[in-house]
Amino acid sequence: MSIVIEKPTEIASTVINQMSLFNHEQVVFCNDNETGLKAIIAIHNTILGPALGGTRMWMYNNEGEALKDVLRLSRGMTYKAAISGLNLGGGKAVIIGDSKIHKTEALIRRFGKFVNSLGGKYITAEDVGISTKEMEYVKMETDYVTGLPESYGGGGDPSPVTAYGVYMGMKASAHQVYGNDSLSGKKILVQGIGHVGENLVKHLTEEGAIVYINDINQERLKEVANLYKSEVVLGDACLDLDIDIYSPCALGATINTASLERLKCAIISGAANNQLEDENLHGRMVMEKGIVYAPDFLINAGGLINVYSEMHGYNRERAMNQATHIYNTTLDILKTSKAQNIPTIEAAKAIAEKRIAEVGKLKLTY
């Protein structure tokens, strides 16, 4: 989609058409010439509660790309909250720009004012390119913010909780495939060893898994390989490894037609959002290859669980306990998928949609 300023009716029809495709409720375009802020806030669904989702700052090639990303991510948040039993809807925001160059206090605070103007319908948090530091600036302009540093009564970095949830989802997948959930001796590739990936490597090596690590950042590879017993695999050669489990923990869309031709594994279970390049096509392709795929929005929900806990008086132990439930939910979904011969992503979406429909009906009564 290209934005043509001279033809505003064309923009409107294109944007609203895209919104109606997945039934988004509201999309807010934000602009401020003084600070250079250009942002989009997407609210997908607020049946279960306010739409909560992080703000991503990224140098998108064009506005159409940013819109596509925010629509896709906000819908994923609806599923993530619903399947995790949280009383939250799905939303997300993107700020168009290079976080290393364009991120200023004024720009972030101006963004906070836009969040505030929605009166609590959207609650923000950090995401790629945005840290807890920026959430302090947002907090200066609105109370509709989570993911604050511990010094502000927040939960701080949510990555350890996310990694623990992914670990739970991976163990449940192992139980489904091997009959027990031990990861000891299993060959596991962790692709992307950032905040979540490193914490996951810690759990896996502690349990005695044989861990391969891959990242585009050479320094990170050295650091993590020094800290935990793991083998570095450079470049996309990692996709040709003979492994038991592939754990995508970098970017989305790494499960696609090309990678599925190369991947030799029994399980895919990782932290990245939107791992399937095409939800329908690749969800089914994974199943037909006999690979068990633990749905991303389910097993990476630890971060959301963590910020949700913040809204009710932060308690890390409670957040970790709640993330433990990811194990049983994953197991239920994998069993349903097998029994009904449907892709795991379909089984997971059906459970989330059922909860939204049922709880939505409750709200009709006083």
Question: What residues are annotated to the active site?
Answer: 92
Residue 48 vs 189, nearer CB to ligand NAD: 189
Query: What is the C-alpha to C-alpha distance for residues 351 and 141, in angstroms, rounded to an integer?
Result: 37
Residues between 110 and 139 with contacts to ligand NAD, criterion CB under 6 A: 128
250 binds ligand NAD (CB under 6 A): yes
Q: How far is the CB of 4 from ligand NAD (least distance, A)?
A: 31
Residue 21 vs 216, nearer CB to ligand NAD: 216
Q: How many CB atoms lie within 10 A of CB 50?
A: 19
189 binds ligand NAD (CB under 6 A): no
From candidates 216, 237, 258, 281, binder to ligand NAD by CB under 6 A: 216
Measured from each CB, the residue nearest to ligand NAD is 194
List the x/- string, 142-161, binding to ligand NAD by CB under 6 A.
----------------xx--
268 binds ligand NAD (CB under 6 A): no
From candidates 19, 177, 189, 249, binder to ligand NAD by CB under 6 A: 249
Q: How far is the CB of 365 from ligand NAD (least distance, A)?
A: 34
From candidates 78, 84, 162, 322, binder to ligand NAD by CB under 6 A: 162
Residue 122 vs 164, nearer CB to ligand NAD: 164
Residues between 273 and 302 with contacts to ligand NAD, criterion CB under 6 A: 273, 300
192 binds ligand NAD (CB under 6 A): yes
From candidates 72, 175, 220, 318, binder to ligand NAD by CB under 6 A: 220
CB 14 within 8 A of CB 1: yes
Residues between 310 and 339 with contacts to ligand NAD, criterion CB under 6 A: none
Which residues bind to ligand NAD, rule: CB under 6 A?
128, 158-159, 162, 191-197, 214-217, 220, 249-251, 271-273, 300, 303
